[in-house]
Amino acid sequence: MNEFQANDLHDIAALVGRTLLGLVFIISGVEKIGAFADTMDFMASAGLPAVRLLLLLAILVEIGGGGAICFGWQTRPAALVVLLFTAIVTMVFHRFWVAPPDLATVQRLMFMKNVSIMGGLILLFAFGPGSLAYGFARRRAD
């Protein structure tokens, strides 16, 4: 494989990986809109204050951040915001170490899934969106 083909493969992989990572958040945000009252109840059951405001912020972060990641627009700041959001959500909602035994395994799996997603977000923050991203040609010309 020559250098041109290797670069193309890296850019395609970055696009596909970014899209898959961003879609997780977009879908979750849209689902929260569709189940707004139930999601507020769930958040309240975790002891969170101002659940309506927090839910609106969660939807904004998930849809906005996920969309920015998918398109490769402001990718590094979006990855950082979504990373912080995911870290907080993971520590609040997936505390497997205090979960009842019948829920501990599921909560541990959800915790580890989120840790893996955070790893992908860190890589995206570190390496950027690749060249198949919104505004790349304009940035390259600058």
Count of CB atoms within 10 A of residue 140's CB?
A: 8
All structural domains of the chain with their residue ranges: 3-130
Residue 142 has pLDDT above 50, yes or no: no
The token pair at 95 is 């505390």
Q: Which pLDDT score, from 0 to 100, does residue 5 have?
A: 78
Residue 139 has pLDDT above 60, yes or no: no
Q: Are 110 and 94 in contact (CB under 8 A)?
A: yes
Which of 60, 54, 124 lies closest to 93, judged by CA?
A: 54
The token pair at 50 is 């101002």
The token pair at 90 is 């993971």
Residue 108 has pLDDT above 60, yes or no: yes
Q: Which pLDDT score, from 0 to 100, does residue 71 have?
A: 96
| Residue 141: pLDDT band with limits 50, 70, 90 | very low
d(CA 103, CA 20) in angstroms, rounded, equals 28
d(CA 98, CA 62) in angstroms, rounded, equals 27
**Residue 23: exposed, middle, or buried by beta-carbon count in 10 A (0-12, 13-18, 19+)?**
middle
* Digit-coded pLDDT (tens) for 50-69: 999 999 999 999 999 999 99
Average pLDDT, integer, range 94-123: 96
Which of 17, 2, 19 lies closest to 120, judged by CA?
A: 17
